[in-house]
Amino acid sequence: MFLENTINPNKNKGWIEVICGSMFSGKTEELIRRMKRAKFAKQNVEIFKPGIDTRYDEKMVVSHDANEIHSTPVPSSSNIPILANNVDVVGIDEAQFFDDGLVNVCNQLANSGVRVIVAGLDMDFKGVPFGPMPGIMACAEYVTKVHAICMKCGDLANHSHRIIDQEELVLLGEVDEYEPLCRTCYNNATKK
């Protein structure tokens, strides 16, 4: 069980937390909750998101439930350590859209005493591990997998099923483009 640690009195002890799952599972909501708790505890926090994610707002990280927190959009993972000066906690949303260098960035920050909280899709719409997420999950001290509800049967969903005919890997979308499905319903929907 993950025990949320809100204070890092020993600056030499950093770690990595991952919040992963399908679309509509509450990943961003949980990231925002953890970041707001750290801010309430008077910790210095900085949140980053990929510059390509402008679905709800250019600068804010926004959940599907419209909760939000200010963030810094960056074009690549290499910008994060440069901008994360004198912070106790770094949040990273939509991590699957970053380059593979994000794994090293997260480790570098954690090794320097920073609590790193990463949220992202663990699988793409084809059911394949997505971007740097598998590497970050392997290095993390804590991994929280959250689930949506299957739109077909009501079971726990862990797949993001694309419901439009587009094959490119990165397609920012919402309920008109994706639906959460359980393993069985996903397999049935993707049979060819």
Q: Read off the pLDDT of residues 23-36 as tens digits, 9 standing for 90 and up.
A: 999 999 999 999 99
Structure tokens that stand for 134 in this block: 């598998």
* 128 belongs to a structural domain: yes
Q: Is residue 72 included in any domain, yes or no?
A: yes
Domain that holds residue 21: 15-147
> Hey, what's the torsion of the CAs at 173, 174, 176, 177, to 10 degrees?
40
Task: Express each pLDDT in 103-120 by its tens digit.
Answer: 999 999 999 999 999 999
Classify residue 67: in a domain, yes or no. Answer: yes
Name the active-site residue from 94, 167, 174, 177: 94
The answer on pLDDT for 55 being more than 90 is no
- Cα–Cα dist 158/166, whole Å: 20
**Mean of pLDDT values over 164-189:** 79
% the chain with pLDDT above 70: 80
Q: Is residue 26 part of a domain?
A: yes
Structurally, how many domains does the chain consist of? 1
pLDDT at 61 over 90: no
Lowest mean pLDDT segment, chosen from 56-65, 66-75, 103-112:
56-65
Q: What is the pLDDT of residue 44?
A: 96
Q: How far is CA 134 from CA 21, 59, 113, 143, in A?
A: 12, 26, 22, 11
Q: What is the pLDDT of residue 19?
A: 98
Contacts of 72 (CB under 8 A, 6+ apart): 46, 47, 48, 49, 59, 83
What's the pLDDT tens digit per position in 125-153? 999 999 999 999 999 999 999 999 999 99
Tell me the two tokens of residue 108.
């570098």
What's the whole-model pTM score? 0.85
pLDDT of residue 164: 81
More reliable by pLDDT, 37 or 192: 37
The amino acid sitting at 120 is G
**2 domain-assigned:** no
The CATH number for 59's domain is 3.40.50.300
Asked if 58 is an active-site residue, the reply is: no
Q: Is residue 37 part of a domain?
A: yes
